[in-house]
Structures are given as C-alpha cells and as structure tokens.
Structure 1
Amino acid sequence: MVHAPIALLPTSFPESHWKQACELAPIFNELIDRVSLDGKFLQDSLARTKKVDAFTSRLLDIHSKILEMNKKEEIRLGLHRSDYMLDEKTKLLLQIEFNTISSSFAGLGCLVTDLHRTLLNDYGEDLGLDSKRIPGNTATGQFAEALAKAWTEYNNPRAVAMIVVQTEERNMYDQHWLCTLGITYNVRTIRKTLAEIDSEGQLLPDGTFLVGGQAVAVVYFRAGYAPTDYPSES
C-alpha cells in the first residue's frame, strides 16, 4: 500500500482566485457539454492529431460510427475536475487541464480538507493560520448527488450505477465515497473492469445496456483514458 501524497498544512491562496475558479466552473461545464454534442467540431478539431496519434485515431473512428447511428442521448452527466496553478510571474490563475474522464480525488480531497481544518483548530494559533479561512469542500457529496440524479432520470429502480476501474486499481480508497450512493440515495453500484464489461456486457435492441444481467443507468469512468487500458481488441 502506498499512501497518497498530501500537504500536511494548507497552502495560502488568494481568495479572489478561489472565487474566480468557482465562478468559472459552471461556465466550463456548459462549454464542455456543448462541445461534446458537436460531432463535426470534434472531428475537425482533432483531425491533425488523428494522423499522428493512434489512440486518438481509434477513438475518433468509434465516435464517427456513433455519429452515423444518429442516436440522441437525452440524459447526459459530466463529472469534471478543472486544475489550476498560480503563475509566479503574473500572479494570474492559469488552468492546467480540464478532466472529463476519470475525474478523481473527490474522496481524498474532502478528507484532506477535514485534516487541514482539524490541524488548524489545534495548532493554527501557533502557525498563524485560521481554520475558519479554509473553504468548504463538498466534492464527494456533489459527485454522489450528480450520479444519483442521473440514475433517477434513467427511471429504472432496478438499474445500477457502474464504476469502470482498472485491473490493478491503485486509487480505490478515493472511490469509497461511492458508498454514499447506496446509503443516502439507495442506488446500487457495481465495479467492473473493461475486460469484465466485454465478457458480461450485452446491448439490447432498445439501447439498454446490461452487465451481468443488470441494467446500467449511469457509468462513472475511472479507467479507459489511456492506451494501456486497452491491451487487446476485446
């Protein structure tokens, strides 16, 4: 077992930049959602990348086949994480990346926030830090609420929420917050690797996706974002 790296104490960060990131979040979420619906834009924008990257090329080929099917998805869910750093020279908030798949650390991030607040409650006066200045972190609850909302929209009380994991999952403890789905929302979750989905999955004529005989209402991908996740055609 390898402990996830953390900072023992919180890092000082301008409140104005924190608020800016929070204000930008729904804007970026809507932008990504709109881009995901524009198949031609995606294909055209990544056309040059497709020529030099085999993985992207394969994904775009699959995307083209889906576009040809002309199947409209009325229910969509994005679990995103936008990463920022403070530029040393300009002191501006700069976006590093926007994660649209395998958005992780909601679970561990909330625990670190609690750790920092607890430490500052006990030692903040000695350190010159105020625990009340630590922003709240509700990522775990919001992720669970979003998945539960998507599950509800699917309108099948017997359906499950599926989390797609890697064969040798190293970050499983960050995923334990998913138990909130069962405890708070009465949504059953299953964990499957891509190989297990290949062997157990079945797509019905009406579009229902079964895994192990269970209808899947919503999928949370924690795998499938890298070529190493696809060692074979299956």
Structure 2
Amino acid sequence: MYSDVQKDDLKRRNADMSRVKPVEEDYGKPLTPERLDEMIQRVTGWALLNGAQRKITATEFRERVEPVAITLFPSILPVDVLRKAKSLQTSFQTLIYKVANDHEFMKECFSGLLSADAFIKQLWDIYDTVRKEGPAQEVSVVITRNDFMMEYTEEGDIKQDCKHVEINTIAAGGGGRVSNMVDVHRYSLSLQDIPFEKEQLPDNKPVAGLAQGLVKAWQLYKCKCAVILFVVGIPEPNTPDQRWLESGILCIDGSIKVIYRTFPQLIKQMSLGKNRELIVDGAEVAVVYYRYGYEPKHYPTDAEFQLRLDMERSRAIKCPTVAIHLAGCKKIQQALAESGVLERFIQDTDRIKEIRSSFVGLYRLDTKDSSKVITQALQAPEKFVLKPQREGGGSNLFGDDLRNYLEEIKESPERSAWILMDRIQATRHRNRLIRAGLGSECRNVVSELGIFGFHISTPTSELENIECGYLIRTKPEEANEGGLCKGLSCLDTPFLV
C-alpha cells in the first residue's frame, strides 16, 4: 500500500519531469555538491568489493576489472509490480518448455522466416537434424531471464504495471553481479542517512538459484567425474558474472569441476565418445552452459555450426538446447500474443489472463493484413520497435532508423525476419547514473526489470521450475537499448514502496 506522502510524491514526479531534481529529494535527504564526489568514490569502491564488476578486455592483464555502471541510489518501485513479475516467471518457463516440444507449432511459426534469416535457418537445421536422429540426452535445462518494463496503467495515475519485453533463453546474464547489489545501495543510503525498512531493500541472490539449477542438471547426468562446461566468448567482458556462478556451484558441491572454453578451443579439443559422450580435452562433460553462440558473428565459418550440431548430438545436458534457444525467438513471442494461442499450451484461464495482461501489441509483417500496421509504423515510428530474431542487444530499430528500414523492406521477403512491437511507454523516474561519460548529474531514467529462473525437463515431464531472483537495469530515458555489457544501462536495485 502507498502512504499519502508516497502518492503525492509519485503524482508530482509523473506530472512534472521537465526539470530534473536531485533524486535524493525522493528520499527527503538533499545531497550537497561537496558531498557528491565523496559519495561516488565510496559507493563505487563498495560496488567493486561486492562484485559489481566488468572485465576490461583491452588490457595486458587478463583479469583486470573496473566497476560496472551503477545507480547511486536504488530506484523506487511499487512492490505489487515486482510481485506480479515474479509470479509470472514459472508460467513463462512452462510456456517456453511446451513450445520447444511442439514441433508442428515451431514449424508453423518459422515457416516464412527460414528463407529470410540465414542464421535462424542454420539453428533450425541443427534442431531438425537432431530431432530426426533422436536425441542422445532426454534431460534439458534452461536458465532464463524474463524482462519487463514498467508503465502507468492510466494517464496521470500512480498505479504501475509490468509489460513484457522479451524472455531470454540463452546466455541470460547479470545474476552474479546483481546478487550483492542490494548491499551497495544499503551502503549508499546509509552514507546519506536515508532511513529504510528491511523489506524495502530485501535480499536478492539469483546466483544461488541459478547455480542450483546447473548443479541439479549435473546430478541428473549421474557421473561424478564429469564437468560443467561454460562456453564463453573472445574477448569475454562477462567473466566476473560467470565467476560468481561458478562460485555458487562450488558452494553447493565443491567436488564439481567447471571448465571454460571458447568455440575455437572446442573445435580443436572436443570429440564425441562411442556412446556420444561429449569429451573436451580428455574430460567428460555433464552440462554445456552457453554464454556464447547467440549471434551470427559467433559463427564466422561452417566449423562453428558443425560444432554446435555435434554438441547438440551429444549426451551432455544442454543449457539450453537448440529447440529452447529457438523457442525464445521474437517470432515465437509474437505468435504467442495472437488470439487463442496461449490456450494451446496453458489450460488455467486465470494464468492465461495474467500472462496476457503483460503483453503489448506484437505484429508480424508477412501477412495480407500487415500493410495496416506497417503504414501506422511509417507514420508514427516513435510508437513502435522493429525487432529481428536476435539476442544480446543492439539489434532493434527505433524512430527514423525504423522508418527508413521498414520503407526499404516493406515489399521484400526480408520483412518476414522482423516483427513490430508497440513501444512500451516506460515509467520515468530519476537517479544518478555512475557511468563513464555521463557525469554525476541527476537524469530522467527508465528501468527494466528482469526475473531469473531455471527449468529442468524431459520431453514428457517438467522436473524443476524455479523463479530465483531479479535484476534491474536503469538507463537514460532517451536511450533505446539497455544492455549492461555494452555499457548502455546501469545496475540498480528496487526500493519497494
């Protein structure tokens, strides 16, 4: 429930954002200019101490790190919004699981896309080859992050709702670095003598849950000498996040060995045993955990696609399988938003209603009826986002870029590779972003809420379906993309009201 003071404050911030006032006023504790530099220095140091780090890749020191971009204070968030987003996580994971095991639905969704998107066609061929051969491993595991943005339910009202952006089914990062971020913001509030209740800044340890998912998958493989393989990139800015996950695994079972390999290393070191065991440099692999392999540039030659096929053919448990990777594509997201489609996978009408309430408009571009929405997007591109079938951020088109590209492809088969999405009118607030090049001024910002979870299954049974924490990324309101790795947004935590 909101207090009268909180209601008045939220109304004021929503009604007048033309002049950005210091975020500290939200907490009733103005910050003097002479205090600001000291605050930034101390909070940044505390962030480093608590693992909010990114690896500096252009350096001779392989493990040199710097603070990841963070907010100086936690951002105010209604507790009901967080509660709803968390409650949706297991339903979305069940949905993705059922989609990935429904070949006819997948085939129908991708039928017009495969001729227009060479990368998705390659992944589909891997999926279809292994499906026809018969998988060597029935168990699969996926770590997901379900992303939402907050939007006011009515113009001028204070009530917010969460609107679905996407679900990430491969390389869903951030769970390690965010696991101690709440301590950073408890520290920043305490430095400024800003009072808070424990339930307003609750513990949030997604890395513990995500590690548990990988350990349970390793246990199901039933070979104590087998390792967990982290497939990583070159260069790899996400090393600190991955180290936190390895640490979580070792806290659960110190006997488990984690190895890290890149695609080029695996091409040289990997082989399949006589029973399709996945062998890397002499070690049998129980679980393949992909933090790489989701972008076309990760596959510069046919050798990388052959490697992915061989790993998919193996007995190792994949996180994720290619089927689940494909089920996370934007095309699937768009299809699920169509009338009557959720009912194919979920019988609970209340759950369907809850999931559907988080959707915004999603539109395919390759039907006879697409011309209407294409015209709308060309006339008002600021109301839409144009999305390809890609993960990792930086691929979506907005504004003039959207209009120009959509004009170019509107009569081309290439339009099948894209979907249009209503642009979420994200709730604006304010914060100080500690990020290179931004200075220390207070800014209008928007936040994206990501809910973590893991799911373990066979084709006929869900074995584990767990929600395990959250991530908030905050960026300037004018920024279109919001990736942490690309330095576009800042790590944040919610101050619950």
Conserved 8 A contact 1:80-1:101: yes
- Over residues 8-53 of structure 1, what are the superposed CA-to-partner deviations in whole Å (9 max), with x where a residue is unaligned? 2111111111111111111111111121222332222112221211
Match of 2:202 among 135, 140, 145: 135
Give distance in 1, aligned partners of 2:89 and 2:190: 29
Task: Work out whether 1:161 is the aligned partner of 2:215.
Answer: no
State the shift of 1:88 in Å: 4.1
Q: 1:167 is aligned with what amino acid?
A: I
Match of 1:33 among 89, 97, 109: 97
Conserved 8 A contact 2:136-2:276: no
Conserved 8 A contact 1:84-1:96: yes
User: Aligned residue for 2:424?
Assistant: none
Match of 2:75 among 11, 14, 21: 11
Give distance in 2, aligned partners of 1:116 and 1:46: 44
Residues 228, 124 of structure 1: CA spacing in aligned structure 2 closer, same or farther, 3 A cutoff? farther
State the shift of 1:230 in Å: 0.9
Match of 2:300 among 214, 231, 234: 231
- Over residues 202-227 of structure 1, what are the superposed CA-to-partner deviations in whole Å (9 max), with x where a residue is unaligned? 11231211111111111211100000
Q: Counterpart of 2:141 in 1: which secondary structure?
A: coil
- Over residues 67-125 of structure 1, what are the superposed CA-to-partner deviations in whole Å (9 max), with x where a residue is unaligned? 11122633221101011110246432101110100010001111322211232344352
User: Aligned residue for 1:93?
Assistant: 162
User: Aligned residue for 1:146?
Assistant: 213
- Over residues 151-188 of structure 1, what are the superposed CA-to-partner deviations in whole Å (9 max), with x where a residue is unaligned? 11111010000111002101111111112323431211
User: Aligned residue for 2:257?
Assistant: 188
TM-score by length of 1: 0.92
Give distance in 2, aligned partners of 1:18 and 1:189: 33
User: Aligned residue for 2:140?
Assistant: 76
Give distance in 2, aligned partners of 1:114 and 1:171: 21
Give distance in 1, aligned partners of 2:225 and 2:168: 30
Q: Counterpart of 1:51 in 2: which secondary structure?
A: coil
- Over residues 119-150 of structure 1, what are the superposed CA-to-partner deviations in whole Å (9 max), with x where a residue is unaligned? 2344352xx65454013212010111111111
Match of 1:170 among 237, 242, 263: 237
Give distance in 2, aligned partners of 1:107 and 1:155: 26
Conserved 8 A contact 1:124-1:131: no
User: Aligned residue for 1:61?
Assistant: 125
Give distance in 1, aligned partners of 2:181 and 2:120: 35
Q: 1:42 is aligned with what amino acid?
A: M
Q: 2:137 is aligned with what amino acid?
A: E
Residues 94, 72 of structure 1: CA spacing in aligned structure 2 closer, same or farther, 3 A cutoff? farther
Give distance in 1, aligned partners of 2:282 and 2:101: 30
- Give the RMSD, CA atoms, in angstroms: 1.8
User: Aligned residue for 1:221?
Assistant: 290
TM-score by length of 2: 0.45
User: Aligned residue for 2:183?
Assistant: 114
Give distance in 1, aligned partners of 2:135 and 2:222: 19
Give distance in 2, aligned partners of 1:139 and 1:32: 20
Highest RCO, 1 vs 2 (Cα 8 Å, sep ≥ 6): 2
Q: 5+ residue gaps in structure 2?
A: 1-55, 57-65, 155-159, 304-497
User: Aligned residue for 2:279?
Assistant: 210
Q: 2:69 is aligned with what amino acid?
A: P
Give distance in 2, aligned partners of 1:140 and 1:71: 29
Give distance in 2, aligned partners of 1:111 and 1:45: 40
Conserved 8 A contact 1:160-1:190: yes
Q: 1:216 is aligned with what amino acid?
A: V
Please, which moves more after superposition, 59-68 or 29-38?
29-38
Aligned residues: 232
Between Structure 1 and Structure 2, whose CA radius of gyration is higher?
2
Q: Counterpart of 1:24 in 2: which secondary structure?
A: helix
Q: Counterpart of 1:118 in 2: which secondary structure?
A: helix
Q: 2:173 is aligned with what amino acid?
A: S
Larger strand proportion of the pair: 2
User: Aligned residue for 2:247?
Assistant: 179
Q: 2:214 is aligned with what amino acid?
A: L
Give distance in 2, aligned partners of 1:113 and 1:95: 24
